[in-house]
Amino acid sequence: MRWIETRAALLFISPWLIGFMIFTAWPVINSAYLSLTDYDVINDPNFIGFDNYVTLFEDPKVGLALRNTFIFMIMSVPTQLVVSLGLALLLNSATRATGFFRTAFFLPKMTPPVAVGILLLMLFNGQNGLINSFLGVFGIEGPAWTTDPDWVKPGLVLMSLWTVGSSVVIILAALRGVPQELYDSALVDGAGWWRRTLRITVPMISPTLFFLFIVDSINALQSFTEAYTAFFGSGNTTYSNDAALFYAIYLFQQAFEFLHMGYASALAWLLFIVIMAITAVQILVTRRFVHYEGGQP
Amino acid sequence: MRRRIRLILTWTALSAFAAAFIYPFVWLISASFKPRSEVFDHRILPETFTFDNYIKVWQEAPMALWMFNTLLVTVLAAVAVTITSAMVAWGFAYFRFPGRGFLFGVVLATMMLPGAVTMVPVFLIWNSLGMVGTLTPLWAQNLFGSAFYIFMLRQFFLGLPREPFEAAKIDGANNWKIFTRIALPLCKPAVVVTLLFEFQVAWTDLLRPLIYLRDSSTFTVPRGLKALLDQFGFGGEWHWEIVMTASVIATVPMIIVFFLGQKHFVKGIATTGSKG
């Protein structure tokens, strides 16, 4: 009887089991091996020990890409969180047409990231882009967002705010789950809106904010499409912008433009370690600010 | 009175932000109907209204073919991943077997693995099968389920009462029948969410088409859009109106999909946060 159930279960999970072995387990092993080789797809892999990892630390582009990626993460993740929390709070306190506003905030998330990259180039164009024209109304001369190395990343961060829609939806769902009694008793105590938000709302939804913080950070460390679309391209170097060279972009270039498969594998393992380390630190540091109803899960 | 003022303020703020979020769409769509010289005039309504850009995009790029390729990949990817993920999720949710906890832990662990680690070896697999340059690598991996959807669907299955399944079993239904006739229909909302999510992922992906597609005739819409940008945006020709019009064409199907499945989309995303 037990064996029959096990056999049935194995049949049901077999697609994943097979897929896991072919497309995860084997690639992970192979990637670890390839990272110790020099491999260009055409000739056989040539074992070179830890040379690729030594090269990593000497490659100035790796340092640049890591720095760019960190800066982007540090700028974009908190801004996205604050903006999506703000929008969700506004939505939560509105009484009518919340469906319409929620749709408005979510819709940009449906735009293909390539199109977001293109929109970035248009909207943030230094000479005749919409953003600078808007700033011009107030007499502010906007920077050259898409060409000035100092302003490329802020532009990418601002553009990323356009697609916070899913975070807004997630936070809004959490806000709806905060029990009304908590607010009622706070109102009796005469607590104002700010106080209620900071003392009740934020602690009550802190597990959700924590989840978004971690997930957004992991995503930011791997961000690729928008920056690649706007600042890199096939065979054109005139418009590539070093300030937008994110780690994932450099890895992609090494693997599929220069066919340095071994080096790219080493780059991938460094990324893996960096993501793990950053996530672990974030969890350790922020965990004590997270409030779980009914204790730690 | 104070309450009133607060409501009005909330509404004003919401409207301002909503306008800011919607405006880029309006701007883009409007620009796609403007002649080249007026593209950057930032008027909401085009001064000179023209369909020329759409005709030009259709002439300059095999747009219909790209659409067809994307639709093919997207439908295959979404259907494949939904069926297999549901199967696997059901296997983990309904049956008790030795090693279940461990294997499910492995499913969760694969979600933590950055795609970059497997990107190169997986490319080498498709390369050795001679499939680089075809559309197959863009969707065939979905035949083996996907960890995120397996997790989501399993949660849903676990929430179902067990009685109908036990009753069906006593009536002599086999496991496959129980799964397809009872379990799947009961979790229709989660199945729809999976289909919609994967539809969006597959339709908008750029990385995989960049890695696997070589010839323009095999491009998906996002890959083609990038090619148009490189040619008409950066390529020294500065025909931004073509790039913008193609962006509109690439985005509109997603907007339609969103409005068709809005309820499911919003619900699905709201639950991903709470399950975290």
Tell me: the pLDDT tens digits for A67-102?
999 999 999 999 999 999 999 999 998 877 888 999
CA–CA min distance A268, chain B (Å): 5
Q: What count of other Cβ atoms lies within 10 Å of the Cβ of residue A262?
A: 27
B43-94 tens-digit pLDDT: 888 888 999 999 999 998 999 999 999 999 999 999 999 999 999 999 999 9
Cβ–Cβ below 8 Å for B98 and A6: yes
Whole-number Å distance between alpha carbons of B63 and B66: 5
Chain A CB within 8 Å of residue B11 CB: yes
Write down the pLDDT at residue B43.
Answer: 82
Chain A CB within 8 Å of residue B249 CB: no
Chain A CB within 8 Å of residue B138 CB: no
- For residue B233, the chain A residues in CB contact (below 8 A) are 118, 121
Chain A CB within 8 Å of residue B200 CB: yes
Write down the pLDDT at residue B219.
Answer: 97
Cβ–Cβ below 8 Å for A269 and B271: no
Cβ–Cβ below 8 Å for B21 and A6: no
Exposure of A63 in the CB half-sphere (CA atoms within 13 A): 5
B116-164 tens-digit pLDDT: 999 999 999 999 999 999 999 999 999 999 999 999 999 999 998 888 8
Over residues B220-225, mean pLDDT: 96
In eight-state DSSP terms, residue B84 is H
Cα nearest neighbour of B202 on chain A: A112
Cβ–Cβ below 8 Å for A112 and B254: yes
| Full residue range of the structural domain in which residue B156 is found | 55-275
| Beta carbons within 8 Å of A23's beta carbon, 6+ residues apart | B118, B122, B125, B141, B144
Strand, coil or helix: what is B45?
coil
Whether A166 and B270 have beta carbons less than 8 Å apart is answered as: no
Residue among B69, B79, B42, B14 nearest B250 (CA): B69
In eight-state DSSP terms, residue B187 is T
CATH code of B110's domain: 1.10.3720.10
Cβ–Cβ below 8 Å for B100 and A267: no
Q: How confident is the model at residue A289 (pLDDT cuts 50, 70, 90)?
A: confident
Write down the pLDDT at residue B44.
Answer: 83
- Mean pLDDT lowest among A44-58, A172-186, A255-269: A172-186
Whether B62 and B216 have beta carbons less than 8 Å apart is answered as: yes
Where residue B211 falls (left for φ over 0; alpha for ψ -120 to 50; beta otherwise) is: alpha
Is 90 exceeded by the pLDDT of residue B225?
yes
CA–CA min distance A271, chain B (Å): 8
Percent of all residues in chain A with a pLDDT value above 70, rounded to a whole number: 96
Cβ–Cβ below 8 Å for A236 and B10: no
Helix B188-204 crosses helix B262-275 at what angle (to 10 degrees)? 100
Whole-number Å distance between alpha carbons of A47 and A84: 49
Considering CB atoms only, which of A9, A23, A110 is closest to B255? A110
Q: For residue B10, is it within any domain?
A: no
Considering CB atoms only, which of B88, B106, B116 is closest to A268? B116
A84-216 CATH fold? MetI-like fold (1.10.3720)
CA–CA min distance B155, chain A (Å): 15
Q: Which residue has the higher pLDDT, A238 or A241?
A: A241
**Residue B78: alpha-carbon gap to chain centroid:** 8
Q: For residue B44, is it within any domain?
A: no
Over residues B228-252, mean pLDDT: 85
Cβ–Cβ below 8 Å for A104 and B125: no
Q: Which residue has the higher pLDDT, A222 or B266?
A: A222
Is 50 exceeded by the pLDDT of residue A297?
no
Where residue A294 falls (left for φ over 0; alpha for ψ -120 to 50; beta otherwise) is: left
How many distinct structural domains can be found in chain B? 1
Q: Which tokens in the block code for residue B167?
A: 């009753």
Q: Give bridge partners of residue A38 from the DSSP assignment.
A: A46
Q: How confident is the model at residue A239 (pLDDT cuts 50, 70, 90)?
A: low
Write down the pLDDT at residue A205.
Answer: 92
Over residues B234-261, mean pLDDT: 88
Q: How confident is the model at residue A237 (pLDDT cuts 50, 70, 90)?
A: very low
Cβ–Cβ below 8 Å for B120 and A9: no
Considering CB atoms only, which of A27, A112, A224 is closest to B204? A112
Considering CB atoms only, which of A5, A110, A177 is closest to B95? A5
Q: Which tokens in the block code for residue A88?
A: 């969700």
- Mean pLDDT lowest among A103-112, A197-206, B191-200: A197-206
Percent of all residues in chain A with a pLDDT value above 90, rounded to a whole number: 70
Instruction: Count the residues in chain A.
Output: 297
Write down the pLDDT at residue A234.
Answer: 66
pTM of the model: 0.93
In eight-state DSSP terms, residue B180 is I
Over residues A41-53, mean pLDDT: 94
Whether B203 and B249 have beta carbons less than 8 Å apart is answered as: no
Mutation site, A5, A24, A293, interface B, largest B CB count within 10 A: A24
For the question of an ipTM over 0.85, the answer is yes
**Residue A150: alpha-carbon gap to chain centroid:** 21
Whole-number Å distance between alpha carbons of A125 and A119: 10
Whether A142 and A154 have beta carbons less than 8 Å apart is answered as: no
Over residues A168-195, mean pLDDT: 86
DSSP chain A: -HHHHHHHHHHHHHHHHHHHIIIIIHHHHHHHHHTTEE--SSSPPEE-TTHHHHHHHH-HHHHHHHHHHHHHHHHHHHHHHHHHHHHHHHHHH--S-HHHHHHHHHGGGGS-HHHHHHHHHHHT-TTT-HHHHHHHHTT-----TTT-HHHHHHHHHHHHGGG-HHHHHHHHHHHHTS-HHHHHHHHHTT--HHHHIIIIIHHHTHHHHHHHHHHHHHHHHT--HHHHHHH-BTTB-SS--GGG--HHHHHHIIIIIS--HHHHHHHHHHHHHHHHHHHHHHHHHHGGG---TTS--
CB pairs under 8 A between A and B: 272
Whole-number Å distance between alpha carbons of B227 and A229: 10
Radius of gyration of chain A (CA): 24
Chain A CB within 8 Å of residue B9 CB: no
Over residues A14-24, mean pLDDT: 97
In eight-state DSSP terms, residue B143 is G
CATH 1.10.3720.10 intervals, chain A? 84-216
- For residue A107, the chain B residues in CB contact (below 8 A) are 21-22, 25, 255, 258
Write down the pLDDT at residue B202.
Answer: 96
Report chain A's mean pLDDT, rounded to a whole number: 91
Write down the pLDDT at residue A195.
Answer: 86
CA–CA min distance A188, chain B (Å): 16
Over residues B12-28, mean pLDDT: 94
